[in-house]
Amino acid sequence: MKNIVILISGSGSNMAAIAQAAQRDRWHEVFGARVVAVISNRPAATGLALAQGLGLATQVVDHTHFESREAFDAALAAAIDAHAPALVVLAGFMRILTPGFVRRFEDRLVNIHPSLLPAFPGLNTHQRAIDSGSRFAGATVHRVTAALDHGPILDQAVVPILPGDSAATLAARVLSQEHLIYPRAIASLLKK
Q: One symbol per residue from 41 to 60: x for binding ligand GAR (CB under 6 A), - otherwise; what is it? A: ------x-------------
Cα–Cα distance between 109 and 88 in angstroms, integer? Answer: 5
N- to C-terminal Cα separation, the chain: 14
Q: What is residue 170's three-state secondary structure?
A: helix
Q: Does 144 bind ligand NHR (CB under 6 A)?
A: yes
- Whether the CB-CB separation of 124 and 159 falls below 8 Å is answered with no
Burial 117-152 (b: 16+ CB within 10 A, else e): beebbeeebbebbbeeebeebbbbbbbbbeeebebe
Q: Which residues ranging from 150 to 189 are in contact with ligand GAR (CB under 6 A)?
A: 175, 178
Choose one: 8-16, 81-89, 96-104, 127-135; the region binding ligand GAR (CB under 6 A): 8-16
Q: One symbol per residue from 116 to 145: x for binding ligand GAR (CB under 6 A), - otherwise; what is it? A: ------------------------------
Q: What is the largest CA-CA distance in the chain?
A: 48
Q: Which is nearer to ligand GAR, 113 or 142 (CB)?
A: 113
**Residue 102 interacting entry, from ligand NHR, ligand GAR, none, C-beta within 5 to 8 Å by type:** ligand NHR
**Catalytic residue chosen out of the listed positions 28, 63, 65, 113:** 113
H helices within the chain, ranges in order? 13-24, 27-31, 47-53, 69-81, 99-104, 125-131, 167-191
Cα–Cα distance between 87 and 5 in angstroms, integer? Answer: 6
Measured CA to CA in angstroms, residue 96 lies from 20, 45, 122, 148, 179 at distances of 27, 17, 10, 7, 22
Choose one: 23-31, 50-58, 80-88, 91-99; the region binding ligand NHR (CB under 6 A): 91-99
Shortest separation between residue 90's beta carbon and ligand GAR, angstroms: 7
| 65 in catalytic set | no
Q: Does 113 bind ligand NHR (CB under 6 A)?
A: yes
**Among 73, 149, 165, 178, which residue sits at the site for ligand NHR (rule: CB under 6 A)?**
149
Residues making contact with ligand NHR (CB under 6 A): 90, 93-97, 102, 111, 113, 122-123, 144, 146, 148-149, 151
Interface residues toward ligand GAR, by CB under 6 A = 8, 10-14, 47, 91-92, 94, 112-114, 175, 178
